[in-house]
Amino acid sequence: MTPPRRFAIATHPSQPQVAEGVRELVERLKAMGADQASAYTIYEPELKQLVQQKEIDVLIALGGDGTMLRAGHLVAPMGIPVLGINRGRFGFLMEIDELECEDRLNQLLGGEYRLEKRMMLHSFHRRQDQKLGEWHVLNEVVVCRGQYVRPIQVKARLDGYLLASYVADGVIASTATGSTAYALAVGGPILPPELRNILIVAVAPHLSVDRSIILSEGSHITLEVNTNHEAVLSADGQPPVILKDGDEVDVCASEHTINFVRFQDQGYFYRNLHKYMEQNPIAGAL
């Protein structure tokens, strides 16, 4: 691979404790021969401008999976790779931790890495003929109940034809990457991350279809909400959007792809999966 020389490091503003690590990382990259290394919080306009003008070769996300998701959203349209360094509790999307940082960064600047392409989803929120919002997501789009503990009705249509009708707490439309996120927590299957499929999983279905459905990349899913109380849409854990009765959420494969920097062989995914299943790092923090 072409050795990168221009870097930006992104952190989440809710993690000020990471700031000192950022300064150390900037100095380390410069000492290794990087032409450019600078640090930002993930929402800073200056970082967005650097990405849009393609003035960096790799974006380094320093934090947890939430930081990695936001970094992916930022760089995917421009095709800039992202490397995750874990400073969070879980870090399932992250590639390295701080203990191996020195060796891995040397590999990166030496061109000894590969790019793993991850599919994204493109989602639209529609009310009658009006489009109210759209999102490109890496993990999932969720249509679910709001603050009232009552199920909602969701009709799922595949390419215009009825696929299933659900009475449930919600319905998840997920990528293979997202199969180890919310979809896993509600009993969905685990998909290898490089697959380009759309996964449909119901959340607490009541007398409804309780099996996950795996669809091809070219599928177009419409989730129609029928409810007399609050329902919401959540895209990759971003702030929820209120849905009204009759609203529709369209989901299909995005034209964008996220490139993750990887150093490990293809089998890393299952080794990491076993590690997280056996010793869930979140459990110790509860």
DSSP state letters, 2-39: PPP-EEEEEE-TT-GGGHHHHHHHHHHHHHTT-SEEEE
Phi, psi of 62 (to 5 degrees): -110, 110
DSSP 30-71: HHTT-SEEEEEETT-HHHHHHHHTT--SEEEEEESHHHHHHH
Rounded Cα distance between 279 and 275, Å, is: 6
Compute φ and ψ for 101, nearest 5 degrees: -60, -45
Pairwise CA distance, residues 32 & 137, whole Å: 34
Domains, the chain, ranges and CATH?
6-113+263-285 (3.40.50.10330), 120-256 (2.60.200.30)
Mean pLDDT of 112-126: 97
Q: Going by DSSP bridges, is the β-strand pair 82-86/96-97 parallel, antiparallel, or unpaired?
A: parallel
Tell me the pTM: 0.92
Inform me whether the pLDDT recorded for 285 exceeds 50. Answer: no
Instruction: Convert the pLDDT of each residue in 156-192 to its tens digit.
Output: 999 999 999 999 999 999 999 999 999 999 999 999 9
Amino acid letter, residue 51 = V
Reference 46, options 61, 32, 56; nearest CA is: 56
251: left (phi over 0), alpha (psi -120 to 50) or beta: beta
Backbone angles phi, psi at 54, to 5 degrees: 55, 45
CA distance 264 to 24: 24
Does the pLDDT of residue 243 top 90, yes or no? Answer: yes
Using DSSP's 3-state secondary structure scheme, residue 258 falls into strand
**pLDDT (mean) for 15-25:** 81
Is residue 286 predicted with pLDDT exceeding 50?
A: no
The full 3-state SS of 78-128, as one line of letters, equals HCCCEEEEECCCCCCCCCEEHHHHHHHHHHHHCCCCEEEEEEEEEEEEEEC
Residue scoring higher pLDDT (170 or 19): 170
Q: Output the six-digit token pair for 73.
A: 């959203």
Backbone angles phi, psi at 196, to 5 degrees: -110, 75
**Does position 266 have pLDDT exceeding 90, yes or no?**
no
Is the CB of residue 164 less than 8 Å from the CB of residue 156? Answer: yes
Indicate which residues carry an active-site annotation: 65
Task: Give the rounded distance of the alpha carbon of 145 from its chain centre.
Answer: 22
- What pLDDT score does 283 carry? 56
Torsion of CA 260, 266, 268, 273, to 10 degrees: 90
Residue 45 has pLDDT above 60, yes or no: yes
One-letter identity of residue 180: T
